[in-house]
Amino acid sequence: MNGVILPLAITLAIQAATSMAMIAPSVMAPVAALELGVSPQGIGWFVALEYLFAMLSGLACGALIVRFGPLRVCQISVCLAAAGLAAGTGAVLPVVFAAAGLIGSGYGLVNPVSSQILASAAPPRMMSLIFSIKQTGVPVGGALAGVLVPPLVLAFGWRWGAVAVALLCLSVALAIQPARATDAAARRGAGSGSMADFFAPLRLVFANPPVLELAIVSMIFGSAQLALIAYFVTYLNLELGYGLVAAGLIYSSAHLAGVVGRITWGAVADRWLSPRSMLGLLGLLMALSGMGVAAFSANWPLPAVIALSALFGASAVGWNGVYLAEVARRAPPGRVGAITGGTQFLTFIGALAAPPLFGAVAGLVGSYGKAYFIFCLLPALAGLRLLSSAHRT
């Protein structure tokens, strides 16, 4: 167990920093959109671009790991995110969209390189739990964005809020440099990876039907997760009338519940349920809690809003660790990073399509709440499919 503590700490820090960088623009959207002269719903296109570039960088990650080593790739990921946040402060739309590409490219490297690191370090009997602890970096990053960014925006403006998050990312890159030096010494003479076969990770996924099924389910779950991440603050602020700080705190409660959920679901999948059954139950839970969120009104008591938001976050943000551990278990020897990059490509198709599609649906039906209800139908069907196949198995 001692041998996994440092790799887990590094990958958790990288995950939290890049997740905060990904989510911070959505928290700033109600203010930044007005200055940019666009609708707050336009944040969906920014988030979609982030995930488009994350899809592509994930496919390249396997070759980058071979060429530079996993810890250097970790540093590259947070530096790209910091560069994107800094570029976005220019407040010119073409540059803002380029910023989305940089942030997304950094984020797309995190899961493949983390899986490569943790698959070698984690005890097999604890793999779901270890991967889930690392994945708590996503809701931790979201919670930090919800708690820290709104006060920074109100006090100093959204540009300085972006700069503060960028500096945090750079500090993480510097903090892991001592471990990186050790990694570089161990890798001398390891050779260089080739970028020529860019789509090899996808071929690995399509050649493995159980992994392909998991990847398709993750695409559906990812769409529900992004609906929560991209629009929840806007929903609470503009449709339900909560102040920006109060909306950020409720948003943070959903992400903090995701931290608890990820650890809990990982432990359950290691000890009592198969990963497939656990994921099936989470699909049903995110559907039911998401439909509850869709029923919010300004008359709801605050404790009820927080409780149901937390339940939605625990499921919609809490499934990834169990999923990634199961993909790593089924990877060919030495190809964990590559096959994770391939499955992530499919996962992020859902993340890519969800924000603009959710914004379009919200505009069509005239309500963010109704859009949440519609988006939670597919996770229910995916959950039932996983439970059915787990029962047959």
Record the tokens describing residue 36, joined without a space.
Answer: 């940019």
Report how far residue 393's alpha carbon sits from residue 391's, in angstroms, rounded to the nearest whole number. Answer: 5
Answer whether residue 308 shows pLDDT above 80: yes
For 177-189, what is each residue's pLDDT tens digit?
888 766 654 454 4
Q: State the average pLDDT over residues 307-326.
A: 89
pTM to 2 decimal places: 0.78
Q: Which of 316, 354, 341 is nearest to 48 (CA)?
A: 354
Report how far residue 307's alpha carbon sits from residue 302's, in angstroms, rounded to the nearest whole number. Answer: 9
> Are 309 and 294 in contact, with CB atoms under 8 Å apart?
no
For 349-389, what is each residue's pLDDT tens digit?
887 788 778 888 888 888 888 888 888 888 999 888 888 87
For 21-78, what is each residue's pLDDT tens digit?
988 887 887 777 767 766 666 667 777 788 889 989 988 888 888 888 889 999 999 9
Query: What pLDDT is stored for residue 193 in this prediction?
Result: 56
Report how far residue 326's alpha carbon sits from residue 132's, in angstroms, rounded to the nearest whole number. Answer: 11
Query: What pLDDT is stored for residue 189 in this prediction?
Result: 43
Q: State the average pLDDT over residues 194-221.
A: 85
